[in-house]
A and B are shown apart, each in its own frame.
Chain A
Amino acid sequence: MVCDDLSLPLHNEQTIPGQGTCEKAVTGFTLALEATQAMPLLKGKEITWTEALTKAGALLREANHPLIHGLIGDLIDSKAAHKLAEHFAGTVDHRHGDAIARNLRIYQQGGWQVSSMGEVRNRADLVILVCDDLETTLPRLQEKVLHSEARLHTSAPPTVYTLDENRLETLSILRARLANKPLQTDTSATDELLSLINKADYPVFMIGPLQDKATELIIRTCVGLVRDMNEQQRCALLLLGTGEGDITAQLSGAWHNGFGIRTSFTKGYPVQDLQMHSGDRLLQSGESDLLVWISTLSSDPPPNVTQPTIVIGHPAMTFKTDPPELFLPVSIPGIHRAGYLHRADGLRMVPLNALIESPLSSSAALCEQLIAQEPRPC
Chain B
Amino acid sequence: MLTRLKGARLYDPVNQINGEVGDVWIRDNLICAAPDNPAEADKTINLEGKILMAGAIDIHSHIAGGNVNSARVLLPEQHLAEQARYPQHPFSSAKWSAADTGYRYAEMGFTTVVEPAVLPINAAQVHAELADIPIIDTAGLAIVGNDDFLLRMLRYKAEQARINDYIAWTLHATQCLGVKVINAGGATAFKFNQRQLNLDDEVPMYGMSSRDILTAVQRAVVQLGIAHPVHVHCNNLGIPGNVSTALETIKAAEGMPMHLAHVQFYGYGDQGDSGFSSGAKALADAVMANPNITVDVGQVLFGQTVTISGDVMRQFDARHIANPKKWVVWEGEDGGGGIVPFQYRPKNQVNALQWAIGLELFLLIDDPWRIFFTTDHPNGAPFTAYPELFRLLMDRDYRNLWLDKINAKSADISLLRHLDREYDLYEIAIMTRAAPAKLLGLSDRGHLSVGAIADIAVYQPQDNKAALFGKAELVLKDGVTVVEKGQVVHSLQGKTHAVAPGFDSAIESAVSRYFDRYHLMKMDHYKLSPQHLLETVGSELVLH
Contacts and interface: CB of A to CB of B under 8 A. Distances in A.
10 contacts: A111-B322, A115-B330, A144-B520, A234-B193, A255-B129, A258-B94, A265-B93, A348-B125, A376-B89, A377-B88
Nearest to B93: A269
A202 B192 CA distance: 8
A246 interface: no
Nearest 6 CB-CB pairs, A to B? A269-B93, A269-B81, A116-B332, A118-B333, A349-B124, A111-B326
Nearest to A268: B84
A150 B97 contact: no
B517 interface: yes
Nearest to B205: A153
A59 interface: no
B81 A258 contact: yes
Given A151-B518, A251-B125, A349-B124, A269 B326 contact: no
A108 B80 CA distance: 14
Contact of A258 (B72, B89, B536): B72
A250 B73 CA distance: 9
A152 B519 CA distance: 10
Interface stretch (A32-40, A65-73, A160-168, A338-346): A338-346
A118 B519 CA distance: 6
A378 B88 contact: yes
A194 B322 CA distance: 30
Interface string A16-27: 000000000000
B304 interface: no
B273 interface: no
Contact of B73 (A7, A107, A256): A107
B427 to A, nearest CB: 35
B525 A350 contact: yes
B7 interface: no
Given A256-B91, A256-B94, A270-B93, A118 B332 contact: yes
Given A259-B73, A270-B93, A353 B81 contact: no
Interface string A252-278: 101111111000010011111000000
The winner among A233, A258, A347, A351 for most chain B CB atoms within 10 A is A258
B76 A272 contact: yes
The winner among B64, B96, B332 for most chain A CB atoms within 10 A is B332
Interface in A46-103: 75-76, 79, 83, 86-87
A149 B322 CA distance: 39
A86 B521 contact: no
Given A113-B330, A153-B205, A340-B128, A260 B73 contact: yes
Contacts of B132: 79, 255-256
A110 B521 contact: no
B9 interface: no
A314 interface: no
A75 B74 CA distance: 21
B463 interface: no
